[in-house]
């Protein structure tokens, strides 16, 4: 059992997203949030145990080296979306949404609110980085709340007790509030735990306006955008841009469970939207 759990504690990648959505159920108070453990099933708990124990500064730097040079070939946005849809886990195709359906539900909710086109596009793109799973990365290196590495872990990150098993917790240089960083150095200089956020940000950054870049890069950084942690590493520009991250978050959390998007109907709109910002193929 332990071996299997080690391999993939989540039955499907979306179990993590579902856990986050239940943690921040609409109308839930900060007080109630503290009971988040009740919402975590054993798989989710085990997932965080692995994530918090293994995301070290060294690991993050190695993954950035491996992926951020974008040397895995050229593909179009749609091509990558279709590739992501081949992610076969234990989800039920009749009741569970496909990866692309989640993306489209998010983007459609943004579109219905009359947001700018780049904002709708951010909704469509935000989880495409989950293809890391198809590249062979374990779940704990693809999803999960992100947090800075190379400095003290905040208690505002869920399951903070699991950081005790992280080797970085025994490195004196990484145990202080600033760690390897300087006061208000700006998040661009801070390494967050590795996952789908940083990867999709890196792939798309040069094609998107800055608020969209922030939405993609920090959408899983709940300790910061939801709980105000790590402000000592943020600069005033980050603070300003986080307004956009916060505007994006409800669409990610609460658009699930709406009607299934009718791809045939909406595809022309999205074809045009993608073509407006991206060339036919980009580096991945
Ligand atoms: Fe995500
Ligand atoms: Fe999402």
pLDDT in tens, 171-228: 999 999 999 999 999 999 999 999 999 999 999 999 999 999 999 999 999 999 999 9
Q: Which ligand is nearest to the CA of 123?
A: 2
Ligand 2 is an ion; residues with CB less than 5 A from it: 127, 252
Q: Which ligand is nearest to the CA of 103?
A: 2
The pLDDT value given to residue 259: 80
The pLDDT value given to residue 4: 45
What is the rounded distance in angstroms from the CA atom of residue 222 to the CA atom of residue 86?
A: 28
Q: Which ligand is nearest to the CA of 130?
A: 1
Q: Which ligand is nearest to the CA of 124?
A: 2
How much distance in Å is there from the Cα of 233 to the middle of ligand 1? 22
How much distance in Å is there from the Cα of 172 to the middle of ligand 1? 32
Q: Which ligand is nearest to the CA of 102?
A: 2
What is the rounded distance in angstroms from the CA atom of residue 126 to the CA atom of residue 196?
A: 8
The pLDDT value given to residue 5: 43
pTM of the predicted structure, to 2 decimals? 0.95
What is the rounded distance in angstroms from the CA atom of residue 237 to the CA atom of residue 254?
A: 27
Q: Extract long-range pairs of 185-190: CB within 8 Å, 24+ residues apart.
A: 185/233, 185/235, 186/233, 186/234, 186/235, 186/237, 186/238, 187/218, 187/233, 187/234, 187/235, 187/238, 190/148, 190/150, 190/151, 190/230, 190/233
Q: Locate 176 and state its tokens.
A: 């202080």
Q: ∠ at Cα 283 (235, 248), nearest 5°? A: 40
The pLDDT value given to residue 79: 96
How much distance in Å is there from the Cα of 160 to the middle of ligand 2? 23
Q: 3-class DSSP state for residue 46?
A: helix
How much distance in Å is there from the Cα of 245 to the middle of ligand 1? 12
Q: Which ligand is nearest to the CA of 201?
A: 1
The pLDDT value given to residue 6: 54
Segments in the chain below pLDDT 50: 1-5
Ligand 1 is an ion; residues with CB less than 5 A from it: 127
The pLDDT value given to residue 212: 98
How much distance in Å is there from the Cα of 174 to the middle of ligand 2? 30
The pLDDT value given to residue 97: 81
Q: Which ligand is nearest to the CA of 251?
A: 2
The pLDDT value given to residue 34: 82
How much distance in Å is there from the Cα of 195 to the middle of ligand 1? 9
How much distance in Å is there from the Cα of 127 to the middle of ligand 2? 5
């Amino acid at each position: 059992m332990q071996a299997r759990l080690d391999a993939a504690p989540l039955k499907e990648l979306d179990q993590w997203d579902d856990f986050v959505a239940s943690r921040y159920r609409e109308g839930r108070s900060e007080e109630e949030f503290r009971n988040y453990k009740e919402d975590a099933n054993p798989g989710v708990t085990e997932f965080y145990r692995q994530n918090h124990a293994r995301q070290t500064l060294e690991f993050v730097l190695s993954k950035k080296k491996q992926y951020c040079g974008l040397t895995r070939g050229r593909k179009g946005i749609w091509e990558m979306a279709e590739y992501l849809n081949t992610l076969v886990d234990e989800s039920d195709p009749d009741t569970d949404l496909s990866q692309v359906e989640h993306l489209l539900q998010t983007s459609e909710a943004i579109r219905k609110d009359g947001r700018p086109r780049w904002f709708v596009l951010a909704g469509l793109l935000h989880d495409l980085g989950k293809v890391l799973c198809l590249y062979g990365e374990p779940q704990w290196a693809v999803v999960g709340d992100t947090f800075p590495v190379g400095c003290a872990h905040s208690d505002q990150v869920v399951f903070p007790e699991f950081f005790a098993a992280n080797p970085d917790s025994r490195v004196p240089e990484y145990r202080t509030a600033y760690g390897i960083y300087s006061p208000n150095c700006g998040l661009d200089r801070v390494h967050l735990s590795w996952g789908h956020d940083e990867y999709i940000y890196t792939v798309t950054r040069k094609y998107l306006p800055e608020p969209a870049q922030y939405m993609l890069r920090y959408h899983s950084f709940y300790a910061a955008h939801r709980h105000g942690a790590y402000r000592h590493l943020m600069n005033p520009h980050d603070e300003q841009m986080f307004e956009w991250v916060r505007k994006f978050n409800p669409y990610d959390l609460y658009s699930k469970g709406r009607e299934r998007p009718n791809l045939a109907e909406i595809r022309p709109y999205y074809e045009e939207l993608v073509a407006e910002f991206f060339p036919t193929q980009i580096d991945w």
